[in-house]
Amino acid sequence: MLGDNAYSSRATRAMLRRRGIKAVIPEPSDQQANRRRHGARGGRPPKFDGETYKPRNVVERSSNLLKQWCDLATRYDKRAAIYRAGAVLAAIVVWLRRL
């Protein structure tokens, strides 16, 4: 699971571990400082693979482009099929503008 700094809590990481999911979530600087302050009792830092985390930026920017469409950002559509059609339409328009 690729996650944002907001999802880096111990509880989230423990839940992912229980389910057998590998987490690729960077540790925020305040959590690093807190862990270091505790010394040996702070535990070791969680694993983080920067190369696996890099493509997340592309997905994040793509979803932000689609969120510029008000209907997609607010989820006014009640049916999933209509929402999906709006998302596909928005993606096509964004793609055509890039050409």
Q: Model's pTM, two decimal places?
A: 0.53
**Percent residues over pLDDT 90 in the chain:** 3
DSSP secondary structure, 14-70, as one string: HHHHHTTPPPB-PPPHHHHHHHHHTGGGG-PPPP--HHHHTTHHHHHHHHHHHTTSH
Q: Centre a 10 Å sphere on the Cβ of residue 25 and count the other Cβ atoms it contains.
A: 21
Q: What is the pLDDT of residue 1?
A: 67
Segment 1-42, tens digit of pLDDT: 677 777 788 888 888 889 988 888 888 888 889 888 888 888
DSSP code of residue 2: B
